Structure formats: structure tokens, C-alpha cells
Amino acid sequence: MSSVLPSFQRMAEASPLPMVIWDESGAIYEANEAFYQLLGMTASVPTKLNYWELTPVLQKQLEINHLLSREHEPYEKELCTPSGKQRSVRVDGFTLERSDERMLFAAILRPLSRRTSANSDGGISASSDDGLAPLSSVSTDEQGERERVLRRQNELLFRLARSPIVSSGDFVAAARDITEVAARGLQVSRASIWIFDQPRKRIVCQMLYELTAGKHDDRFVGMTLLASEYPAYFRALSEERTVVADDARRHPATQEFCESYLEPQGIVSMLEAPLLHKGELVGVLCHEHCGEQRSWTQDDVSFATHLADLVERAMEAVDRTVVERALHQLNRELEQRIDDRARQLEEATELVLRLQKERTEAQMAAGFAQEMQNALRSARTVINKVMGRGSDDDPESSEPATQLRTLLQEIYQRLAERLDQSTIEQFSVAMQHAEVLSEAFTALLRPVEQALKITREISEYSLIGRARPGHEVCVMIPLIQSIYEELQPIIEQNQIRMIFDLHGPLQLYGAELHYRAAIRNLLANACEALAELSDDRQRRIFFRYYSVPAGALISVEDNGDGIQDETRQRLFEPFYSTKGRSHTGLGLPIVRKVANLYDGQLDIDSRPGEGTRARILLPLKQVAPVY
């Protein structure tokens, strides 16, 4: 409603006829000076008026019914002025707004010199179905052509002003409605909207409506007029005044169009209303009349001006829509940025907490692993001595305690003839104990070796977690060969066929400890995956090391059963393993730490039943030249 009232005010100010807007309760929203003069008042008087108090009591419901059901039909009524006088008027009314909240009505009132169909009691006429006197009861001599035209124009303006299209932000739709109303209201052959380009060197047709055809003609959309070809027309428009050309072929502003446009189209009269937007001239609302020459009236000019105001309102709606969309987009971007920053902060917080946790775990694991390794190495040394194997560091320190049973047997053989039965039985028990002791130490050595392997992995994980990239040169082919020899027992035990493709760089920058840990863990994982197979397929591991444009690529691929989906999500989670308590689950986390340490990438590609391929891509900067 807020957009309708300004349009009503502009139309009402230019109209010589009384105009009023009121609601169902009779409260008057807007009225022009002519309406107050009809009541014998002035608009400056701050008296609150009620529309229904200006009419007989019985008229309210009859008039509402008429406005709702027969709004296109004018009717007569008696209007009671505040001074007590009665004025006979003809009402051209219609429903302006109808919703669950309220109803608004608008009307143009024409004073009558006499009541032609009033009842004797001064009430309303009952000559029509709804009790209101129809317009046909008024003689044609009492209605002038001007009032008829004004009524049609004002009704069209009212309907256009309250249309949601004008304020929708859809300028094309608004332009279609406005040009049609312009043509119908002024009864001209064509009505069109033209918009200037930025330097006002040309003007382009945006919309054109043909009254005879009863439709818009898109053939003229995009038609351009140049200021260099029609300087007088552009000069007249630049003065921001309405061009009223009764004789368009002779008018100074439009005669330039005579040969090229007016005569071919049969146009004899033109009415050009300037279009303003934000106080600047932006275009023109053009009315073209064919046939007999048209003498434009002030009412015609006012009607065209009101329509130009509606065009401006449509442009403002477009600007508002653009701003709203921009604000909406800005809000979305701002919300997205806030979400991104919040997510980044959350990720950074999680990273800091994870790094702190990993650092703490690494420090604790390193200390624990070192203490455990020392204890386990001592235990292994003792067991090896008991087993008669000595140690790797001091082979001469071997104590062949496992030869106890043999020694007892020799003693028994030498003394057997001298021993009584009881002593023989004691010797037999001692030899059995020696056998059990040998088997016990043999069984004990296996978990000790496994525990040493676990503590070594924990130590590696903690050391790499705290390490910095090494800058020494690591020779890769011998390193790969030594890792293969280290894992050869498990490879042969599980009858795994190793296939090598070694065409990578001979040397890489970095610590051998890091590369060894990464490659050994990849190969060990592949061997363990194949060791778990229960079928008789041939077990194969493809080890590839080759150069790529981005650097060096290490690839380990097995033909095992692959990794299950639920396991794949936790591949790099430290201490997570599906292989039992004898595995730490640190293999792939160690590999990833090495890859990250040297700005590399680790990629695991695995599907259930199709094997697994793990690849480390090391950047080109890690490739060491060979001189």
C-alpha cells in the first residue's frame, strides 16, 4: 500500500475531480483538495473524517457490495457534508486492496446538479439490483467527454499503481504493463519506453505496445536512435520537459523523424514524457498517434507524466532488488567466510591439540620404548646365552647351557653301572627338566623378539615425529636391496614373488633412517597382507621406484584381499590395527610422517578383493644430482 499512496497523491493533485481512498471501516487514508471542497472544507483542516458518516446509514453495506462485485459500474449516491447539506454525486469506485487484514476502496466523485433517481426520503436509489442508481440513469448530457476519459485513465492508473509487478524488480514485466496502459489510456496507436546509453549518444527501445494488434511488438526492441542523426530531438529531451507534438511532422523536436519513421508508420502526433531516475534523465515514454492529428490535452500530459513516474518506480524497484540481491549475496559470502574461518579455527585448534598430543605421546613413547628396548635386549642376551647362541656383539660369551641334557646323558652313561635305581630315576627327571627348560627358552625368545620389533616401531614413530628433514644424500638402490634382504625370511616363508622395477633417481636428499622406515613399513604391510591369504593364489608384490616429472615415485602393490571400507577411514590412526596385539598399527602413520617431512604425498588405493597399492611421491627438490 505504501507504494500506491504516492501514485494516488500525484494523480489526485493533477485531477480536478474529487478523489478519495478509504477502508472498510470508513477511515479515509488519502483525499485530494477537490474532495474536501466538495464537502465544503479545506484539506488543511485536521478533522478526521469517516467515509460512511458522510452517507445515509443504510448505504454502507450496499456500497461495499457494489464495489466488490460490480466495481466497473459507476453509481449515484447522496453525500452528507459535515455542515448537514446533501450533495448528489456519481461514484466511479473500485476495490484497491482486498486481503484478510483489510479492504481498501478508491473512488472518483463527480458532483451532480440534481438527483435524477433519489428516493423521496433522501436515501439511495433502488433502481439497480444492489440498490444503487446505475450510471445509465444519468443523462448523457451530464457526463462530459473529459470526465469519461479521466475516469478511464484514473482507473487504469489506480490498477497499475497497485499492481505488484511495478514494484517487483522485474523491469521487463513492469514495462510491458506500463506501455499497454499508456496505449489504452490515451488511445494511441503505439506506446514505448526508450532508455539512453550512459553518454546519451543514443537511445534504445526497451518495450513497445501496439494498440491495434493488442500485443507487444518485440521487433522494435533494441531499435536505436543516434543523437548525431536526430540532434533536435535529443536536445529537446535533454531539457527534461514533455514534448507535446500535435503535428509531429512539423514540430521542431520531432520533424527529423518525418521521412525515416513518421510517414512510413503513419504517425501524425507524438507525446514524449521524460523518464527520470535518481534525479537524472534516463529515457522517454513515447506515445504515437496515427490517423487524424491529435490535440493533446493537459489531462493527457498529466496521464503520461503519471506513467513516467511509475516507470521511475519500476527502476527504483530494480535498484532495490539489485541492492537486496547484492546484500543477500554479501551476507551469504560473509556467512561463508565466517563458517570458513570457524572451520579453519576449529581445524587449527584440532591440529594444535593433535600435535601437542602427538608430541606428548612421542616423548612418552620414546622414553618407554628406550627403557623397554634396554630390558628386552638384556632378556634376549640371557636367553641366547641359555640357548647356547651367544650374542651378536660378543659371540665368545656363549654359555652352552642347552648342552645340559647332553652332559647329563654322558655322566649317566659313565656312572650308570654304579648308580642305584633311585639315582637313575633322579637323572631321568633332571634330563626331562633340561628338555622342558630348553623348550621354554625357545618359546620365550619369540615374544621377546616380537616385543623388540614393537618397541623399535614405537621408537621410530616418536623419532620421526620430532625429526627434521635430513639434507644428506641417500643412495636408494642399495637401501632397497638391504630392506629386501631384511624381510627375505618372511617373503620366502609365505612364498611371495617379488617383482622389482627400479628406474628411479639414484640419489635422494634425506636421511636414510627416514626412507628406510617408510619403505620397510610399506613392504612389511604388503607381506603381512599376503600372509593372511587362505587360498592358493600366487602371492605377488610389485615394487616400483621410478622418475616422474614431479619428482620420484615409490610404489608397492600387492594382490591380496585389499582393505575394507570401515578400515580405510582409520588407516593413519596411530596404534590402530586389525592384525592383533602383536602389531602396533604404526606402519602407515610412520610412512605418512616421512612423506610429510619431505613435502611428499602418500596415496593408498585399495578395494576389497582387488589388492592394495601404496605410493609415495617425493618432490623434485628431493632428487639429488649425480656428478
Is pLDDT at 38 greater than 90 in this prediction? no
Per-residue confidence band for 584, with pLDDT thresholds at 50, 70 and 90: low
Q: Is 275 exposed, middle or buried (0-12, 13-18, 19+ CB in 10 A)?
A: buried
Does residue 155 have a pLDDT over 90?
no
What local confidence, expressed as pLDDT, does residue 141 receive? 43
The per-residue pLDDT for 59 is 75
With 80 as the cut, is the pLDDT of residue 457 above it?
A: no
Q: Do domains 4-160 and 469-622 have the same CATH topology?
A: no
The CA distance from 572 to 527, in Å, is: 18
**Per-residue b or e along 197-212, where b marks 16 or more CB atoms closer than 10 Å to that residue's CB:** eeeeebbebbbbbbbe
Q: Please determine, looking at this structure, whether the domain spanning 469-622 carries the CATH number 3.30.565.10.
A: yes
Q: Which distant-in-sequence residues (6+ apart) come within 8 Å of 5 by Cβ? A: 21, 29, 30
Q: How confident is the model at residue 415 (pLDDT cuts 50, 70, 90)?
A: low
- Answer yes or no: is pLDDT of 533 > 60: yes
- Amino acid present at 364: M
In contact, 90 and 136? CB cutoff 8 Å: no
Identify the pLDDT of residue 475: 92
pLDDT, position 188: 94
The CATH architecture annotation of domain 171-296 reads: 2-Layer Sandwich (3.30)
pLDDT of amino acid 451: 61
Better-predicted residue by pLDDT, 58 or 396: 58
Bridge-based pairing state of the strands 539-548 and 496-503: parallel
- pLDDT at 233 > cutoff 80: yes
Residues 51-88 have pLDDT tens digits of: 888 887 777 778 888 887 776 677 888 888 888 888 88
The 10s digit of each residue's pLDDT in 286-322 is 999 999 999 998 888 888 988 998 898 889 888 888 8
Answer whether 303's CB lies under 8 Å from 186's CB: yes
CB 504 within 8 A of CB 532: no
* pLDDT greater than 90 at residue 215: yes
What average pLDDT does range 146-164 have in this prediction?
76
Residue 16 or 123, more confident: 16
The pLDDT value given to residue 137 = 42
Percent of the chain with pLDDT strictly greater than 90:
24
Which is more confident, 196 or 446?
Answer: 196
For 4-160, the fitting CATH number among 3.20.20.100, 3.30.450.20, 3.40.50.1370, 3.40.50.2000 is 3.30.450.20
pLDDT, the chain, mean: 79
Q: What is the pLDDT of residue 135?
A: 44
What are the grid coordinates assigned to 486, written together? 631384511
Q: Would you list the domain boundaries of the chain?
A: 4-160, 171-296, 347-464, 469-622
pTM for the model = 0.46
**CA-to-CA distance for 627 and 612, rounded, in angstroms?**
37
Tell me the per-residue pLDDT of 92-115, one tens digit each, with 9 for 90 and over: 887 777 777 888 888 888 887 654
